[in-house]
Amino acid sequence: MIIGVGIDVVDIERFGLTLERTPALRERLFTETERGLGLASLAARFAAKEALAKSLGAPAGLSWTDATVVKDDSGRPHLQVAGTVAARADALGVDSFHLSLSHDAGIASAVVVAEGR
């Protein structure tokens, strides 16, 4: 059963300017494994975290670093959740997330489907 769906888009250049203007933002938004990625990949991961929050009803108090985008052996992206995000997912009965990422023409986008029991 689908519990929630979230979608988000990010202007890559604008996101890059924001990261330059506020360097500490990189640590607030991204896990250690994500921080070293290129700008387009960071923008897509930010879109994924926004879409994830929307799929969970966009509650206050979620920590950005409690969600990490990882790739499996074939390169397919997945979400790993912990802490505040895992707690919210559990409260809603979510037991899996489906994630799609894209970046093209200066825009990064993500769609998240939260599925549960």
What's the pLDDT at 117? 80
**For residue 83, what is the DSSP state?**
H
Task: For the chain, give every domain's residue range.
Answer: 2-116
pLDDT digits (tens, 9 = 90+) for 69-87: 999 999 999 999 999 999 9
The domain 2-116 having CATH identifier 3.90.470.20: the answer here is: yes
- For the chain, what is the largest distance between any 2 Cα atoms, rounded to a whole number of angstroms? 43
The mean per-residue pLDDT over the stretch 79-102 comes to 97
Q: Which residue has the tokens 């994630």?
A: 99
pLDDT digits (tens, 9 = 90+) for 1-55: 999 999 999 999 999 999 999 999 999 999 999 999 999 999 999 999 999 999 9
